[in-house]
Amino acid sequence: MNFSRRQFLAAAGATATLTLLPRFALAATAASDTRLMVLLLRGGLDGLHALQPYADPAYARLRGALAQAHSPGAAQGEAYKLDGSFALHPALAFSADLYARKQLLPVVAIAPPYRQRSHFDAQDCLENGTDQPGGSGSGWLNRCVSSLSGAEGLAVANVMPLILRGGGDVSTWSPPLPQAIDPILLQRLQPLYAADATLAAAFARVAAGDLEEMGEGMSGNNAHGKNQRGGRLPQMTAAAARFMSAADGPRIAFVEDSGWDTHGNQVGLLGRKLAELDAALKSFHDGAQTIWPRTVVAIVSEFGRTVEANGTGGTDHGSGGLAFLAGGAVRGGRIAGDWPGLSAGDLHEGRDLRTTTDMRAMFKGVLRTHLGVSESAMESSIFPGSRDVRPLENLTA
């Protein structure tokens, strides 16, 4: 029997998945058998693109073409109206279904306590759990693992991320898959290759998403932005689902994805990235059926982006962002957080959505009611110096 390169890679990946799985201790009793997965979108997700505040009087005027591309009522790719104020991007079809099932909870105008615009510092702050970059050499999710008796954690990543570094019992697992090509890199290389008569056509095919043999799988989006071939991120979340669903699986997991820094051509880039994110959420859901009713998935990014588009059809580093909580244990079907509005007087420094919720408050709410972490443990070790940051209420069942 002859194997294509892609079939061989898939078979090799399946074999490696079976033989290279980390071993975990027997899970705790049913009373403490809840699960948490954190999915970090590195680069700064434009929350106003993923969850559109279409009813805000200033939204269409400030966003221009970004608002027109997928607004409710658009001729093609109509967004999913969630209520009288917000709509999900049309690529987020499965997410919209979860919202209808009350298993998806968007949290608006949220960000770590860091208020500047450096990716590295913002991610450091988000992962170390303090109010400043460099505030801790360990990660808050590792300290959470340490606070739960008998719990173990898993990072689906090439190297241990800061968020899971520390003395807790954690492991890493890297999927045996080809590394995807960052769409931002493709975008920045395009002008160089366009001037080369020999390579321009080949590069154009790659940039259009013709990467099936390389395992990319981010092309094949239809007019509504729905992903038809999957991608690397859905395979990573599927792996997390397999690990966490096992009888001896970890209670805590972390997955990361890059490519969310959309300084140009945002409509096309985020159409593909959001479709991949939606497929990843469905992939985790489908692979975690036995634990889904007692699971929370927290989807976060280090900050939001500017309200107005820049001159290249993208957005720049901003402040207030967007998070999603998903899972059978989530009290969804509504919008959480405090929407500050987009009028000139409401914007942070006249350009960004103002942050009204410290991301630690969301994490605290999940840890307290879903994982049973004490408030004293959160204030003393997991999120030190956060006594004034009160946990968000009613996030989970």
Angle formed by the axes of helices 183-194 and 200-207, nearest 10°: 160
N-term to C-term CA, the chain: 51
Q: Among 167, 194, 214, identify where a domain stops.
A: 214
Query: What is the token pair recorded at 295?
Result: 């699971």
95 plus 77 within the same structural domain: yes
The mean predicted confidence, pLDDT, of the chain is 85
Residue pLDDT, tens place only, 144-162:
999 999 999 999 998 999 9
Are the CB atoms for 337 and 395 separated by under 8 Å? no
Q: Where residue 208 falls among pLDDT bands split at 50, 70, 90? A: low
Q: Give the CA angle between residues 166, 38, 219 to the nearest 5°.
A: 125
- What is the Cα 256 distance to its own chain's centre? 7
102 plus 197 within the same structural domain: no
Query: What is the token pair recorded at 391?
Result: 């946990």
22 within some domain:
no
58 plus 199 within the same structural domain: no
Residue 173 has pLDDT above 70, yes or no: yes
d(CA 44, CA 118): 10
Q: Looking at the DSSP assignment, which residues form a beta bridge with residue 324?
A: 106, 299
d(CA 383, CA 378): 5
Q: For position 364, what pLDDT does the model report? A: 98
d(CA 70, CA 85): 15
Q: Where residue 70 falls among pLDDT bands split at 50, 70, 90? A: confident
202 plus 299 within the same structural domain: no
The residue with greater pLDDT, 13 or 352, is 352
d(CA 10, CA 224): 28
- What is the Cα 126 distance to its own chain's centre? 13
d(CA 4, CA 10): 10
Q: For position 227, what pLDDT does the model report? A: 37
The residue with greater pLDDT, 304 or 198, is 304
83 plus 199 within the same structural domain: no
Q: For position 21, what pLDDT does the model report? A: 52
The residue with greater pLDDT, 214 or 288, is 288
Among 13-17, 144-148, 281-285, 294-298, whose mean pLDDT is lowest? 13-17
315 plus 299 within the same structural domain: yes
Residue pLDDT, tens place only, 228-240:
345 789 999 999 9
Amino acid identity, residue 245? S
Q: For position 72, what pLDDT does the model report? A: 73
Residue 200 has pLDDT above 60, yes or no: yes
2 within some domain:
no
201 plus 254 within the same structural domain: no
What is the arithmetic mean of pLDDT over 189-210?
63
Q: For position 226, what pLDDT does the model report? A: 39
d(CA 384, CA 3): 54
250 plus 317 within the same structural domain: yes
163 within some domain:
yes
Assessment of whether the complete model's pTM goes beyond 0.85: no
196 plus 324 within the same structural domain: no
Closest CA to 276 of 324, 234, 323, 236: 234
8 within some domain:
no
Q: Where residue 327 falls among pLDDT bands split at 50, 70, 90? A: very high
Q: Among 191, 214, 237, identify where a domain stops.
A: 214
159 plus 70 within the same structural domain: yes
Taking CB atoms within 8 Å and a gap of at least 24, the contacts of 210-216 are 211/180, 211/181, 212/6, 213/5, 213/6, 214/178, 214/180, 214/181, 215/6, 215/9, 215/177, 215/178, 215/180, 216/180, 216/181
Amino acid identity, residue 127? E
For residue 353, what is the domain's CATH number?
A: 3.40.720
Are the CB atoms for 163 and 141 separated by under 8 Å? yes
142 plus 209 within the same structural domain: no
Number of folded domains that form the chain = 2
* Environment class of 185 (CB within 10 Å of its CB; exposed 0-12, middle 13-18, buried 19+): exposed
9 within some domain:
no
Query: What is the token pair recorded at 298?
Result: 């927290």
| Backbone angles phi and psi of 364, in degrees to 5 | -60, -40
Residue 182 has pLDDT above 70, yes or no: no
Q: Give the CA angle between residues 156, 103, 67 to the nearest 5°.
A: 85
Quickly tell me which residue has 């919209």 as its tokens.
96
Residue pLDDT, tens place only, 332-362:
999 999 999 999 999 999 999 999 999 999 9
24 within some domain:
no
| Backbone angles phi and psi of 151, in degrees to 5 | -80, 150
Residue 335 CB neighbours (<10 A): 17
23 within some domain:
no
Owning domain of residue 209? 182-214
Q: For position 194, what pLDDT does the model report? A: 64
6 within some domain:
no
Q: Among 199, 214, 229, identify where a domain stops.
A: 214
318 plus 204 within the same structural domain: no
The residue with greater pLDDT, 294 or 197, is 294
Q: For position 78, what pLDDT does the model report? A: 87
